[in-house]
Structure 1
């Protein structure tokens, strides 16, 4: 199990760090998990699942025009 830090998630999405938190707030991305008192991060599996769902949404849009 790998935990991605904010910088890594921002890089994967090609957005700035504040935009990652905006996407979480809007319910677009999964919430991070707490790691200790001050740290947080995202499970790699959660981000992978999120990407897969976006690909499936795109394919459904293309197939159903």
Structure 2
């Protein structure tokens, strides 16, 4: 189980952002440990981080592919002169 300060450190999120994401279903929910204590399941936090990394890498790949296959005018490719 991971307490809030560690979750914030691991994810790099601000406390308010973390709770907004939880409310929107975009972040794992905490587990109540007692009347005033909660924690998160470590494997769920690690999974969320891994998902964020994978999504970032996919976006980078898609951007690179889109950039390379963009329709440039023939003169930009050196095929004809202006």
TM-score by shorter chain over 0.5: yes
Give the equivalent residue in structure 1 for 2:53: 55
Give the equivalent residue in structure 1 for 2:30: 32
RCO higher in structure (CA 8 A, sep ≥6): 1
1:20, distance to aligned residue in structure 2 (A): 2.0
As a proportion of its length, which structure holds more strand?
1
- The number of equivalent residue pairs is 63
Go from structure 1 to structure 2 and tell me whether the alpha carbon gap of 1:62 and 1:18 turns closer, same or farther (over 3 Å shift).
closer
RMSD of aligned alpha carbons: 1.6
Say whether the 8 Å CA contact 1:32–1:41 is kept in structure 2.
yes
Relative to the length of structure 1, the TM-score reads 0.76
Relative to the length of structure 2, the TM-score reads 0.63
Say whether the 8 Å CA contact 1:9–1:20 is kept in structure 2.
no
Which structure is larger by alpha-carbon Rg, 1 or 2? 2
Go from structure 1 to structure 2 and tell me whether the alpha carbon gap of 1:51 and 1:36 turns closer, same or farther (over 3 Å shift).
same
Q: Does 1:10 align with 2:8?
A: yes
Give the equivalent residue in structure 2 for 1:23: 21
- Runs (5+) with no aligned partner, structure 2: 64-82
